[in-house]
Amino acid sequence: MTDRTGPLLQVERLNTSFETRAGTVRSVRDVSFEVGRGEVVGIVGESGSGKSVTGLSILGLIERPGRIVSGAIRFDGEDLVGMSEARMRRMRGARIAMVFQNPMMTLNPVQKIGAQIAEALTEHARLPAREVRARCIRALEAVGIPSPEARMEAYPHEFSGGMRQRIVIAAALVTEPDLIIADEPTTALDVTIQAQIIHQMRRLIDETGAGLIWISHDLATLSELADRIVVMYAGTVVETGTTAEIIGAPRHPYTRQLLASVPSANAPGRPLRQIPGMMPSLLDIGDGCPFASRCERRTEGCARPVPPAVLSETRTVRCLNLPEDRP
Amino acid sequence: MTGFLKEFAESRMAAACLALSLLFAACALFAPFIAPMNPYDLRAFSLDDARLPPGSRQVEKGGLFRATLSAREGAAEESEGAATFRLVEEAPGRLLLTVETEGTLGALRILGLPRDASVEGARRHPIRSEWTLADPTAPAAIETGAMTPAVLNLTVEAELPATATDTRFALGTDSYGRDMLSAIIYGIRISFIVGAIGAVGSMAVGSALGLAAAWFGGRVDAAIMRLAGFQLSIPSLMVGLLTLTILGKGVDKILIAIILIQWTVFARTTRSVALAELRSDYVDAARGLRLSAVRINLRHILPNCLPPLLVILTINIASAITLEASLSFLGVGLPLTQPSLGMLIANGYEYMFSNLYWIAIFPGIALMLMVVSINVVGDRLRDMFNPQLKR
Amino acid sequence: MTSVPMIAAHELSKVFPLERGLWSALSRKLSGRPPRRVQAVDRVSFEVAPGETVGIVGESGCGKSTLAKMLAGLSGTNGGELLLRGRPLAEVMSDPRQALKVQMIFQDPQSSLNARMKVVDIVGEAPVVHGLIPRAEKEARVRAMLERVGLGPEALHRYPHQFSGGQRQRIGIARALAVEPELLICDESVAALDVSVQAQIINLLMELRRDLGLTMLFISHDLSVIRHICDRVIVMYLGRAVEIAPTDALFADPRHPYTRMLLAGMPRISTERRAFLEVAGEIPSPLAPPAGCHFHPRCQFRTEECLAQRPPLDPVDARRSAACLRWREIG
């Protein structure tokens, strides 16, 4: 790994849009955040918040009719936007890894898992077969697969859902990437398995010093795993901060209301506090605050673009009418 | 709907083929109004026009009119067919013959004159007593010679030549003198209707069986699918030949053959789509609402199976048309009284090597265009209904 | 609980055969081995009082969805007894009017609505077919139902794809309500929804329960949702009920080791990173569940006895019971 200073990944004013029959869907608008080495950054948002598109943009996996309209994605000082497809593919193979929600989409059902994990290694580097095997076994061990040597010869269908997701994570880890992007990796898993994987992920990040972007709709898992949290709503980042700041003292009205609406924040049996209305359509959405229509603190200024306000070194909030302190 | 058409037309090729398919459909529906002639009307064509190349004009038949006249009372008039003959005694020993016809006279001959008689401006046959006038349109003056005109019996032959009319055979004529274009349009009508009804019938039978297989599962499913599998192992033309050999010729018989062949495709597709739909929660919801099995199948499951079925329907119309054409070509399909494209090709086939290419080639091109364009439309529909290809 | 229980299940079982067809039957006959099968629900007994909301919680493969389908009459039973308001389920289901009293709300708002039907037909079809209302009143009934679930009349003539996930779930609820059910079975009904939408739907369900006096069976893997709306909870593991307890008691003092593990693994919103306790093992395959207590391979309290014997569902006190030989020592 490089010992350059500065953040591992810097996303700056990223805009990604999709041209559809109906018009332009501005899925990601003016998104900026950073990921440091050995840091877990959680991106939280509901469906349509643009969190997955942000992840795909970093991976260079936005396909027609979508495109990155503007912005910079600096990875280790190098801008990934506009990088050639061939270089980007090498980057994804060697330095940036990804884990998606459904492991069966990633795994080839008719190939032994050992071969699938090895593929990532052999595609970009010439390595002796013994070395490849050793590294695969180490990766499987790291994600907690029992008797990895024997399991190398098994096919994906011989594993349970949780095991499969571990294998996908092992395949992502085997190249010792600097950055891992995981999109809802535990959503389809059971609670106890999810807890195991989160635990292992945290340990791996602490050990390897890689950066991890964990994209999820689930504030609870993120609060247990992430160092910092990026809250997204309707394509924009509404608030960023350390986990303690976001969970303990949310400033943006959306974050506050989101936290207040989860069942565990409400007395059992009582009506949950709910956010009125719906997320606006991203189709030809304007530049004003997207939450304004549902916000009780909105003023006329909210219809104009709202710049992110930097509150501290770790914290930005995109709101004109910040509530003072925790209610 | 307009959005759907717009999306469809994103492929120019498909749009052109859709237009062509619709044209063929229009041919099928409005053949009597489109075709220049009715190929079933025996009076409308004659063997004189047989095997004319494309672009030839239709020929109006000529005729020979003959009358025997006698100017006993100084004048005589006789009508024969389209010709009127008049004989007038102009002067003693001199008769004047005028012939009026529709159209111009091709030749005028006078027979049965005595030896010493003569006709002005006419040539006598070297042996027979037959005078041929040089100008058949002008009145003919006859010098009767020694005989008095009153006892003279003369025979007049007026010949009308065959004339080309304005009617053209754009695609030539077949061996019966039938206009190929009209025959093709009527052939398209029969082929298309047989194909469409056959495929729709197959869809009805096949999807009903497919739904039953998916819904009941177990033995019903096994029985239906085994039958379909067994049948798919026999070439479809073989099934058609067998069926028609047993049943005989006829539109109804060929429809039965098409349904027997094609139901399998619909049954298999319907079954597989329905099985996926049966796992959907909305089916459980409908069952929870205690709706009847028939209702759930027809109102809930079937509409969701329709997109892939419509694609198959389109493609199967094309294959039903081909099938019918093949069977008719082989002589087991439609009876002679209902000449489909396949039979037209078969009829023309024997002339292929006598350089009379148009009799087989044009129905062949029509069949090919129809089948290809329907297939392209079907492929386009499949692409549009396939979410994986959709952006 | 003096009145007749809404649901009384006694030793309810469901077995799915894995091998079907002539071949496997023949080879079984020849080899004499028993048929392979999955015991999806294994002798589960419980009662639900009218007006009560009972949660069923468990991980994938625990049989909670199979149980839901049996209760809704969508899937037969293979043993045991199931009474609805004191009458055998089969008898209730043979009378359409009575059968309609049990309705289900599904998980996936996408697939639970027929994409090719308009809302007015989705909601109004069953009441008309069953003669609950004359055809002429269909629109009025649907409009009333939509209003009930918080949708405007403009929804009547639209198709499901024109709605968001939360709205679709509301339509699904309206469809169930339109046939005037008494028992609502919610199978992961809020699992596929976003947090803010989830809150709206949970509120709607609680409001309906209060206003219409519905009995509810709430199946979920999400303990925080269960805790919020249920009166009692049934914890299931590999087809068996391992603990049945009032919600407060279950969360405060779990008696079954599996319940403890579930509660420990439950993600909580917290301001600091949690020191995860290493959760042992995977859920075994339901095809080959461990002998004795199904949970013993992952259990830190296991003894020799647990390997041999299926622990009975023991009453812990008047309202709760646990299927663990050592429940007294746990908690």
Q: Does the pLDDT of residue B310 top 60, yes or no?
A: yes
pLDDT at C78 over 60: yes
For residue range C103-127, what is the model confidence (pLDDT) as tens digits? 999 988 888 999 989 999 999 999 9
How sure is the predictor about A1, in pLDDT bands with cuts at 50, 70 and 90? very low
Domain count, chain C: 1
Q: Chain-wide mean pLDDT for chain B? A: 86
Mean pLDDT of B223-227: 94
Q: What is the pLDDT of residues B151-203, one digit of tens each?
A: 778 888 888 777 777 777 888 888 877 888 888 999 999 999 999 999 999 99
Q: Between residues A41 and B98, which one has the greater pLDDT?
A: A41
Measure the CA–CA gap between A180 and A96, rounded to whole angstroms.
6
Q: How far apart are CA B278 and CA B358, in angstroms?
A: 54
Q: How far is C95 from chain A (nearest CA, A)?
A: 35
Residue C42 falls inside a structural domain: no
Q: How does pLDDT run across B313-369, given as a tens digit for each residue?
A: 999 999 999 999 999 888 888 887 778 888 888 888 888 888 888 888 999 999 999
Q: Which residues of C fall below an 8 Å CB-CB distance to A? A: 59-60, 164-166, 194-200, 202-203, 206-207, 221, 223-225, 227-229, 247-248, 261-262, 264-274, 276, 278-279, 282-283, 285
Domain ranges across chain B: 2-54+173-385, 63-165
Over residues C244-259, mean pLDDT: 93
Using CA coordinates, name the residue in chain B closest to C186: B285
Token readout for B57 is 């004009």
Res. C22: pLDDT tops 80: no
For C179, the closest of B222, B289, B299 (CB atoms) is B289
- pLDDT exceeds 90 at position B120: no
The pLDDT > 70 percentage for chain C reads 95
The letter for the amino acid at C321 is S
pLDDT at position B157, please? Answer: 84
CB contact under 8 A, C111 and B282: yes
Beta strand extents in chain A (DSSP E only):
9-20, 23-35, 40-44, 66-75, 78-79, 96-99, 179-183, 211-216, 228-233, 236-242, 309-312, 315-317
Contact at CB, C74 and B300, closer than 8 angstroms: no
pLDDT for residue B136 is more than 70: yes
Residue B292 has pLDDT above 60, yes or no: yes
Query: At B154, which helix (H) or strand (E)?
Result: strand B154-160
pLDDT score recorded for residue C277:
57
- For residue B75, the model assigns a pLDDT of 78
pLDDT over 80 at A171, yes or no:
yes
Name chain A's partners: 3 or more CB pairs within 8 A.
B, C
Residue C275 confidence (pLDDT) above 70: no
The CATH code of the domain at B2-54+173-385 is 1.10.3720.10
Range of the domain at C174: 112-180
Confidence of residue B390 (pLDDT cuts 50, 70, 90): very low
Cβ separation of C271 and A248 shorter than 8 Å?
yes
Check residue C103 and give its pLDDT.
95
Ranking A114-118, B125-129, C216-220, C276-280 by mean pLDDT, the lowest is C276-280
Residue A252: what residue type? H
Residues of A with CB under 8 A from a CB of B: 21, 64-65
C243 or A188, which is more confident: C243
Mutation site, A216, A258, A264, interface C, largest C CB count within 10 A:
A264
State the count of interchain CB pairs (< 8 A) between A and C.
132
Sheet (strand C37-48) strand order: C37-48, C7-17, C81-84, C87-88
Please answer yes or no on whether A21 and B3 come within 8 Å at the CB atom: yes
Which pLDDT does position B159 carry in this prediction? 81
The alpha-carbon gap from C156 to the nearest alpha carbon of chain A, in Å, equals 19
Residues in chain A within 8 Å Cβ distance of B391: 64-65
Count residue pairs from A and B with Cβ separation < 8 A: 4
Residue B387 has pLDDT above 70, yes or no: no
**Average predicted confidence (pLDDT) for chain C:** 89
C195 to chain A: which residues are within 8 Å by CB? 46, 217, 219, 258, 261-262
Return the residue in B5, B7, B390, B391 with the most chain A beta carbons within 10 A, the one to mutate for interface testing.
B391
What chains are in contact with B, requiring at least 3 Cβ pairs below 8 Å? A, C
Give the pLDDT confidence score for residue C21 in this predicted structure: 66
Percent of chain C with pLDDT over 90: 57
pLDDT of residue A69: 93
Contact call for C199 and A261, based on CB within 8 A: yes
pLDDT at C1: 45
**What pLDDT score was predicted for residue A291?**
93
Q: What is the mean pLDDT of residues A265-276?
A: 88
Q: How confident is the model at residue B391 (pLDDT cuts 50, 70, 90)?
A: very low
Rounded to a whole number of angstroms, the distance from the CA of C97 to the nearest CA of chain A is 32
Tell me if ipTM is over 0.90. no
Specify the pLDDT at position A327.
45
A10-21 tens-digit pLDDT: 999 999 999 888
- A 10 A CB-CB count for C146 gives 24
Q: Return the closest-CA partner of residue A177 out of A41, A31, A76.
A: A76
Domain B63-165: which topology?
Answer: Immunoglobulin-like (2.60.40)
Let me know if residue C12 belongs to a domain: no
More confident position, B165 or A28: A28
Q: Pseudo-torsion of CA A215, A220, A221, A226, nearest 10°?
A: 70
Average confidence score pLDDT of chain A: 88
Residues of A engaging C, defined by a Cβ cutoff of 8 Å: 46-47, 160-163, 190-196, 198-199, 202, 217-221, 223-225, 243-244, 247-248, 257-259, 261-266, 268-269, 271-275, 278
CB atoms B3 and A64 under 8 Å: no
Tell if the CB–CB gap between B391 and A21 is shorter than 8 Å: no
**Residue B389 pLDDT:** 53
**What is the nearest CA distance from C87 to chain A, expressed in angstroms?**
31
Can you tell me the distance from the alpha carbon of C242 to that of C65, in angstroms, rounded to the nearest whole number?
16
Q: Determine which of C54, C108, C167, C195 to mutate to test the interface with A (most A C-beta atoms within 10 Å).
A: C195
Tens digit of pLDDT for each residue in B37-68? 888 777 777 777 777 888 887 777 777 788 88
- Mean pLDDT for C22-29 is 74
Question: Are B284 and C116 a contacting pair at CB < 8 A?
Answer: no
pLDDT (0 to 100) of residue A15: 95
pLDDT confidence of residue C285: 79
Cα distance from B313 to chain A (closest Cα, Å)? 28
- DSSP assignment of B302-361 equals HHHHHHHHHHHHHHHHHHHHHHHHHHHHTTSSS-TTS--HHHHHHHHHTTGGGT-THHHH
* Residue B266: band (very low, low, confident or very high) from pLDDT cuts 50, 70, 90: very high
Query: What is the per-residue pLDDT for B388?
Result: 54
Query: Is C92 within the bounds of a domain?
Result: no
> Is there a domain that residue C145 lies in?
yes
Q: How far is B235 from chain C (nearest CA, A)?
A: 28
Q: How far is A21 from chain B (nearest CA, A)?
A: 9
- The whole-number pLDDT of residue A143 equals 82
- What one-character-per-residue DSSP string does C215-273 give? EEEEEES-HHHHHHH-SEEEEEETTEEEEEEEHHHHHHS--SHHHHHHHHHS----SS-
Give the number of other CB atoms < 10 A from CB of residue B252: 10
Q: Is the pLDDT of residue A3 over 60?
A: no
Q: Report CB contact under 8 Å: C74, B222.
A: no
